Structure 1
């Protein structure tokens, strides 16, 4: 089974783990693994965790902004409906004379 390492020394480096069943990573296998990806240079190993944290923080900010946007759209629609209702109620009656 192919697994992705998220350790600081091997960020995002994939490897094969033998003796584990799909979806059951807690079970102990034979503890044999084989790297799928090549070793990364030190600079990549130092940069990737920071980039991932930055990307995750930006994703969280985007989700918060999308939630805020949904609230603003809902409030705008409610205000528009309220305005239409008030205008409809205040409509002067036209009398034929």
Structure 2
């Protein structure tokens, strides 16, 4: 599995696996990052791709001192399962 890339031009975190691209779309609003949508192609579902993508995106947000608004249900569920991330909620 490759590394997660922050494509700032498209406002998406990206992870490519076996030629398929998973994305976590976001919007920056001051010191807050709003995750709006996560998409993992069916061909690579069930392999932890979405979790790896969101973990890297949240690590990046923490490193940058951003608060997180998880509008996307997948991001919200991930944060619910990982209480160590809840201090980032904005």
- What's the TM-score bracket when you normalise by the shorter of the two chains? under 0.3
TM-score (normalizing by structure 1) = 0.22
Greater per-residue strand proportion? 2
Greater per-residue helix proportion? 1
TM-score (normalizing by structure 2) = 0.23
Bigger radius of gyration among the two: 1
